[in-house]
């Protein structure tokens, strides 16, 4: 039976380290406040106007491609997960194709907009394509440049202290080896609370969901005014609708419920238990969320990998960055049972179980 496996993995973190003390110079916050609630000590910020989600994704992809023992020309499908794309459109998939110098047009490029669970969704899509025999070398990238889209004033401090920039990538190939490859992926969504963790503009909503946004219903749209388009209105700019918004406590409560649920679903399906997990890599949302999940699932410290302390929350990039780092440190070995899980905006969540 054909399964899909991770044949190569890479990561890229920008060089600039931004500590909690650095942030406290531009907003009213403190190292103590951030560490206590999120576990984050520092994060990376990319070089503005020189680095983008695509360039960081490309750097990670080159390493993954080399480690898979192939060249960029061998890639037959690209999946790019990000919530911070270079352009409103086209997506980063084709930009990455160009950056990698892939000129052949027989390949496809797909962009995934599933925020924190983007990598798990991408892995699930790649798994189906590879298992069906349609593609042999799928490049899956998660990359984020949050530092370009955050409000670093006091108004945005509950969000901007959490997120960081970076990228991770994997090459997915078919395998017939018995003790290797993706065992299953589980995906879920619930749009009821879409606005609880959202970046609503620019967009085509034109104020349509205003009651759900918990906002003033007058967004200042004026008929036939060119500015009253997906790019929004002056009023929306003034009201800060161009930054991410999060109801932190609501997100926390749902995340710590959905993580264990979806992990157990995958384990049950594979007839395995938490004791069988060699390495659990949660989406690096918040160290407190990861610790809560670890405790409720009865996992030991050596079964869980966290690096949010160093990089903050890098959304779609957090799982491949953490998985790559754990593997580089020898914490994931051949044959190990690796469990990945994510929860995020949408809400969407999912898990993946794989034999390394």
- Contacts to ligand ACO by CB under 6 A: 29, 33, 37-38, 116, 157-158, 161-162, 197, 248-249, 251-252, 255, 285-286, 288, 313, 343-344
Beta-strand ranges (E) seen in the chain are: 3-12, 16-19, 42-45, 77-81, 108-112, 138-144, 166-175, 181-189, 197-198, 245-246, 279-282, 337-344, 348-355
Rounded to a whole number of angstroms, the minimum distance from the CB of residue 272 to ligand ACO is 25
Q: Which is nearer to ligand ACO, 173 or 348 (CB)?
A: 348
Token representation of residue 96: 């990455």
Rounded to a whole number of angstroms, the minimum distance from the CB of residue 318 to ligand ACO is 8
Pairing of strands 337-344, 279-282: parallel
Q: Which is nearer to ligand ACO, 2 or 26 (CB)?
A: 26
Rounded to a whole number of angstroms, the minimum distance from the CB of residue 323 to ligand ACO is 17
Output the CA–CA distances (angstroms, integers) from residue 16 to 30, 31, 118, 311, 320, in the order listed: 19, 18, 25, 11, 20
Length of the chain in residues, anyone? 356
Closest CA to 44 of 341, 317, 252: 317
Residues 6 or more apart whose Cβ sits within 8 Å of residue 272 = 337, 353
Strand-pairing partners, residue 246, are 197
Q: Which is nearer to ligand ACO, 72 or 322 (CB)?
A: 322
Q: Which is nearer to ligand ACO, 32 or 222 (CB)?
A: 32
Rounded to a whole number of angstroms, the minimum distance from the CB of residue 119 to ligand ACO is 12
Q: Residues with catalytic annotation? A: 116, 283, 313
Q: Which is nearer to ligand ACO, 158 or 264 (CB)?
A: 158
Rounded to a whole number of angstroms, the minimum distance from the CB of residue 145 to ligand ACO is 16
3-class secondary structure, 1:
coil
DSSP string, 167-233: EEEEEEEEE--TT-EEEEEEEEE-GGGGGGEE---SSS-TTTTHHHHTS-S-----TT-TTSBTTB-
Strand-pairing partners, residue 340, are 281, 352
Output the CA–CA distances (angstroms, integers) from residue 232 to 17, 124, 206, 353, in the order listed: 33, 34, 7, 41
Residues 6 or more apart whose Cβ sits within 8 Å of residue 262 = 186, 188, 341, 343, 349, 350, 351
Rounded to a whole number of angstroms, the minimum distance from the CB of residue 147 to ligand ACO is 15
Cis upstream peptide for 347 (omega within 30°): yes
CA 128/CA 174 separation, integer angstroms: 11
Token representation of residue 17: 């380290």
Rounded to a whole number of angstroms, the minimum distance from the CB of residue 334 to ligand ACO is 30
Give the residue closest to ligand ACO by C-beta.
Answer: 248
Closest CA to 170 of 271, 270, 90, 66: 66
């Amino acid at each position: 039976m054909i399964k899909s496996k991770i044949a190569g993995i890479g990561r890229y973190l920008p060089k600039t380290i931004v500590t909690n003390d650095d942030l406290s110079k531009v907003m009213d916050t403190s190292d103590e406040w951030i560490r206590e609630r999120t576990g984050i000590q520092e994060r990376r910020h990319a070089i503005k106007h020189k680095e983008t989600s695509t360039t960081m994704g490309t750097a990670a992809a080159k390493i993954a491609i080399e480690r898979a023992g192939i060249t960029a020309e061998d890639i037959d499908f690209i999946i790019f997960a990000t919530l911070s794309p270079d352009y409103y459109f086209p997506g980063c998939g084709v930009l990455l194709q160009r950056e990698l110098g892939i000129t052949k047009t027989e390949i496809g490029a797909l962009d995934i907009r599933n925020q924190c669970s983007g990598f798990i969704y991408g892995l699930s899509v790649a798994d189906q394509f590879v298992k069906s025999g349609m593609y042999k070398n799928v490049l899956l990238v998660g990359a984020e440049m949050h530092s370009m889209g955050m409000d670093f004033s006091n108004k945005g401090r509950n969000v901007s202290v959490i997120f960081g920039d970076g990228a991770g990538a994997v090459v997915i190939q078919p395998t017939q080896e018995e003790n290797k490859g993706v065992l299953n992926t589980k995906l879920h969504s619930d749009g009821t609370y879409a606005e609880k963790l959202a970046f609503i503009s620019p967009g085509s909503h034109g104020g349509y969901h205003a009651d759900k946004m918990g906002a003033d219903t007058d967004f200042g749209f004026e008929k036939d005014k060119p500015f009253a388009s997906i790019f929004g209105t002056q009023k929306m700019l003034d009201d800060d609708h161009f930054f991410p918004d999060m109801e932190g406590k609501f997100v926390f409560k749902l995340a710590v419920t959905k993580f264990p649920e979806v992990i157990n679903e995958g384990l049950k399906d594979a007839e395995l238990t938490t004791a069988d997990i060699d390495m659990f890599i949660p989406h690096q949302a918040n160290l407190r969320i990861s610790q809560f999940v670890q405790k409720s699932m009865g996992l030991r410290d050596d079964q869980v990998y966290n690096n949010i302390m160093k990089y903050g929350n890098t959304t779609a990039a957090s799982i491949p960055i953490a998985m790559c780092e754990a593997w580089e440190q020898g914490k994931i070995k051949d044959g190990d049972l690796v469990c990945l899980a994510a929860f995020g905006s949408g809400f969407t969540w999912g898990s993946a179980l794989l034999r390394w």
